[in-house]
Amino acid sequence: MGPTETNQAIEAVWRIEAARVIAGVARLVNDVGLAEELAQDALVAALEQWPTEGVPTNPGAWLMTTAKRRAIDQLRRRDRWERSLPHLVTPDAADASDFDAVLEEEPIEDDLLRLIFTSCHPVLPAEARVALTLRVLGGLSTDEIARAYLVPSATVGQRISRAKKTLADARVPFELPAGAARARRLGSVLEVIYLIFNEGYSATAGDDWMRPALCEEAMRLGRVLAGLMPAEAEVHGLVALLEIQASRSAARTGPSGEPIVLLEQDRRRWDRLLISRGLAALDRAEALGGGTYTLQAAIAACHARARTAEETDWPRIASLYAKLAELAPSPIVELNRAVAVAMADGPAAGLAVLDPLLAEASLRGYHLLPSVRGDFLARLGRAAEARAEFERAAAMTRNDRERRLLLDRAAACG
């Protein structure tokens, strides 16, 4: 294998193994930032040694062992070895020669869970949780995250650095919370994965309507979490929601990248494999009880099961949104319920649900509120009012593709 092929192999292995290595080392040093540095050291060692010595038979194990040995050296140098040893090994295994064997006693799945819960800790602001998760669990570089979110690399780097410092300063333990604490923290984990997916599915800014790489990363993280926590209904509910939503990706844009709204999509282009996987995850979630993500997945499933837009079960969707509003009331849920009511009972009924939201402060700059209202008004024949709403929505959005779509709709109102 030549140098180029070896470097490609190292890059591929790192993408797969980075999170596991960081998780394994973090359990030892109890510091996510330091664990990432030590894992990066192991990567550098691979880049130096593998081109001449060859790629190991088990490259992931090689990276893990190398990173852990460097962690042990770090602990010794910092004079923390004696203080750390009693917490890391059993009394009859205190000999340093047995250290690696003791470290492998706990399944790596537990370490990955700890890493997920630590990276998504509520002590961090949402944007920091997202950046840190993409970095340590997704293996994305700072530049890749910056390109995905259309922000400078320096901004992403600062978010990640501050996140690590915040976790260290707050002395957030590298542990898997139990009981009620785990339930509270799981909500933050699911929120981060959903935020990553949503930014990929409907980009908030820039020229592109979608950023598929972020959708793929969110789905991968969701699947990993479902494998690690198979008894958690909402984990399966989120996976179901992401899979079903992502199934429409190929149909959501036209030949020039222009957006195509749901009711106008060619459903033959929907990914049936993703739909079947999403429906299977939804069945598991509902069997376990489910919650808000499960309800949202059930709404997405109504669209997935309809062979044409006309066959969509809008009354059921409206009832599901009503249940969601009871469980997790929010202006966004109410806006979506207004759309479903309008489809089920007519635009006037939808407008009656929507208009009280005009006084909602949190929606004052939300472009979808005037966009949806414009649609209702257009269907009621109130063209001038509809045009004004579409123009208002176009002025609010930061996505260029969406702005053009909204201006086209305004122009169509005459």
Using alpha carbons, list the distances in angstroms from residue 372 to 101, 109, 397. 60, 44, 13
pLDDT band at 137 (very low <50, low <70, confident <90, very high): confident
Query: Computed from CA positions of residues 25, 26, 31, 33, in that sequence, does the dihedral angle turn out positive or negative?
Result: positive
Provide CB contacts within 8 A for 242, sequence distance 6+: 193, 194, 197, 215, 218, 219, 222, 278
Q: Is the pLDDT of residue 328 over 50?
A: yes
Mean pLDDT of the chain: 86
Q: What pLDDT shows up at residue 210?
A: 58
**pLDDT for position 88:** 54
Strand-pair partners of 205: 398
Q: What's residue 178's pLDDT? A: 80
What pLDDT is attached to residue 213?
77
Tokens of 128: 């920091």
**Residues 142, 135 contacting (CB under 8 angstroms):** yes
Taking CA atoms, 65 is separated from 7, 38, 149, in Å, by 20, 11, 34
3-state SS assignment for residue 345: helix
pLDDT digits (tens, 9 = 90+) for 75-128: 777 655 555 555 554 444 334 444 455 445 455 568 888 888 998 888 999 889
Return the pLDDT at 291.
94
Residue 111: Cβ within 10 Å count: 24
Where b means 16+ CB within 10 Å and e means fewer, 138-171 reads bbbebebbbbbbeeeeeebbebbebbbebbeeee
pLDDT, tens digit (0-9, with 9 covering 90-100), for 260-292? 889 999 999 999 999 999 999 999 999 999 899
3-state helix, strand, coil in the chain (%, to 5): 75, 0, 20
- Is 266 exposed, middle or buried (CB count within 10 Å of its CB: 0-12, 13-18, 19+)? exposed
* AA letter at 163: A
Over residues 139-164, mean pLDDT: 85
Q: What's the burial of 382, exposed, middle or buried (CB within 10 Å: 0-12/13-18/19+)?
A: middle
Please tell me the predicted confidence (pLDDT) of residue 228: 86
Q: Could you tell me the pTM of the whole model?
A: 0.78
User: Residues near 63 by Cβ (< 8 Å), separated by ≥ 6?
Assistant: 13, 14, 17, 21, 39, 42, 43, 46
Q: Which amino acid is at 369?
A: L
Q: Which residues pair with 399 in a beta bridge?
A: 206
Buried b (16+ CB within 10 A) or exposed e, 29-67: bbbbbbbbbbbebbbebbeeebbeeebeeebbebbbbbb
Q: Mention every residue, 6+ apart, whose C-beta is less than 8 A from residue 319.
A: none
> How many Cβ atoms from other residues are within 10 Å of residue 90's Cβ?
10
Whether residue 55 contacts residue 99, with contact meaning beta carbons closer than 8 Å, is answered with no
